Amino acid sequence: MGNLLKVLTCTELEQGPNFFLDFENAQATEGEREVWNQVNAVLQDSESILTGLQAYKGAGQEIRDAIQNPNDMTLQERAWNSVCPLVIKLKKFYSFSLRLEEALRSLLTSLTCPPLTPTQHLEREQALAKQFAEILHFTLRFDELKMRIPAIQNDFSYYRRTISRNRINNMNLDIENEVNNEMANRMSLFYAEATPMLKTLSTATTNFVSENKTLPLENTTDCLSTMASVCKVMLETPEYSSRFNSEDTLLFCMRVMVGVIILYDHVHPNGAFNKSSKIDMKGCIKVLKDQPADTVEGLLNALKFTTKHLNDESTPKNIRTMLQ
């Protein structure tokens, strides 16, 4: 099974199989190479996207000066010239989300296609499973950063208002070649989301299921629930977590676990919190709660605010209580 080690006793009748995936060292086999290369071309840009987002400062002062002095054209131009490069940067982030969406679809196709079961896919295609995990890891990191930068929506709102106001008399409108009205509308919807990357992946996964009508829903949901079990076991079992070379891998596993739970919750008709769910939600939440609070606050918030079925009547009260 390569780097895949089956761990604990088999509990397939209860919560699905438990596996240990070597997220640090999995290498692509010849059969995985084509898809792996396609996805890697996207993932290799992910760190620069995060670096760019982390460095985002916004044009708050310039915008305030322009609004407070509407007749001062120097201040109007200064604000406009400050915002335009930021809008180009925001377009870059948005465009990357579209590339990430395509990468996710490629991975889902590979990891759910018959005749292999999702578990068999994960056993035999660990490098693709690792890339799936890396997409989720990036997504949660991006959204955690975005939630701390209110300047993004403020800057973009100012841009939309200003460009609509008489097309800014005699001001440089070359930016419309980069961000036309249709693009601006799509970007506006994207950044209006509290967690835009997670929303993109959730929608992509839901669309993947609806567009592949001949593929059993269980192929997709079992892939997600198995990944959740993988991460939960690695986090709660010192024998396995101690094998990681870096402590960062623990946070990686936490983000991946939360990411697949959210995707499962959006795709499965009954969600992740229902008693019939193949994800041990109580166990997953406990694993998170056992970590330092400042490490997992964003992840617990993601479960609280970006899942679809948490507040359903069928969700056990103790699950909701654990997330309060």
Cβ of 144: how many Cβ atoms within 10 Å? 17
Q: Is residue 298's pLDDT more than 70?
A: yes
Q: Give the integer Cα–Cα distance in Å for 105 and 109.
A: 6
Specify the DSSP element, H or E, that contains 53.
helix 46-54
3-state helix, strand, coil in the chain (%, to 5): 65, 0, 30
Q: Which residues pair with 5 in a beta bridge?
A: 20
Chain segment 7-25, per-residue pLDDT in tens: 433 344 344 455 567 788 8
- The contacts found for 290-296 with CB under 8 angstroms, 24 or more apart, are 290/236, 291/254, 295/251, 295/254, 296/254
Mean pLDDT of 223-240: 89
What pLDDT score was predicted for residue 128?
96
Instruction: State the chain's mean pLDDT as an integer.
Output: 88
pTM for this predicted structure? 0.89
1 pLDDT band (50/70/90 cuts)? very low
The closest alpha carbon to 136, from 73, 35, 227, belongs to 227
- When comparing pLDDT for 3 and 303, which is higher? 303
Q: Give the integer Cα–Cα distance in Å for 73 and 29.
A: 61
Q: What φ, ψ does residue 229 adopt, rounded to 5°? A: -65, -40
The closest alpha carbon to 228, from 255, 207, 196, belongs to 255
Two tokens, residue 197: 């990357």
Mean pLDDT of 158-165: 86
Chain segment 181-215, per-residue pLDDT in tens: 899 999 999 999 989 999 999 999 999 999 999 99
